[in-house]
Structure 1
Amino acid sequence: MLTGKLVRLRAIEPSDAESIYRWIHDPEVGRYMTGDYPRSLAQLRKRGEERPVNTYENVVLGIESLEAGKLIGVVDLRDAAPEIGRAELDIYIGETDHWNGGYGTEALKLMCRYGFNVMRLHLIALWVVAENERARHVYRKVGFVEDGRHRECHRGPDGQYHDMYLMSLLEPELND
């Protein structure tokens, strides 16, 4: 487990399915997420029970609030390749009452530090919808820089297309 002052990053458990189900069906939480086919709670429970172990290529961790003692989000490093020392990061805070207060920022820093120190990554990249200023602010605060813009590549739940920014972080750029 990776522990900070506000959050602990831990393996996802099958019992987390109820929270994840609630989050992916919340329009406010899923506003900027990549679309997916609807999934039932039973499907999410089964997926949780059959979840593969974390590996170098794909590390998925739950974000648990130390104060509340409950799961509040998910963070992952995926598509990692030791030959090039690069991975892509995804993060979301599903509990909207934890959108402020530094929970996402601390989880992001913990996961990036893990990627650089344990996985020996050289670069961590992510994609973010251009209109998601809250997330872009957090990413910049942690040290990510905007590398480029991909035009109209994200179709939101509103059916509209949105631009996305590619952002990246090198180890010396991480603001602890």
Structure 2
Amino acid sequence: MVEAWYMDESADDPRRPHRAEPNRPVGLEQLRRLGVLYWKLDADKYENDPELEKIRKERNYSWMDIITICKDKLPNYEEKRKAFYEEHLHLDDEIRYVLDGSGYFDVRDKEDKWIRIFMEKGDLITLPAGIYHRFTLDEKNYVKAMRLFVGDPVWTAYNRPADQFEARGRYVAFLAQTA
């Protein structure tokens, strides 16, 4: 099961857990109210997993590739690692399925506080278009993930502030409805 918590305010190494003291865990229902969806799958059978295929069909995730983020496998590793950790949003959902390794997705809650979501092998997450977020590896410095899209992939990240985009406006309206 996925683990999530409110983050501390430390500027220390982002690959550390950064749990607020006292610990303030965040459950799946709270993530769902932010539009964040989660599934636990068997990553060892991702190539022929009927459960993954069902999710892809139901949610129209038609495009897929696999990325390995580690020093030896990703060109311009340091630059990309820093770029992934810049607070940003996308105009489309961000869908990631961890096939091996681990890392953190950080998302903003309704009060603009950071929630850290620990992702490990078998975790599939969907971040809604318009949510401010960022990604970092954990201290193991390795993750292999499937990237899924509805239609053709769009890699553009819009660093905060990016409130002028329609996707952000729709997301803010969604948050107001779930209040």
Normalised TM-score (structure 1): 0.29
Relative CO higher for 1 or 2, CA cutoff 8 Å, sep ≥ 6? 2
Q: Greater share of helix residues, 1 or 2? A: 1
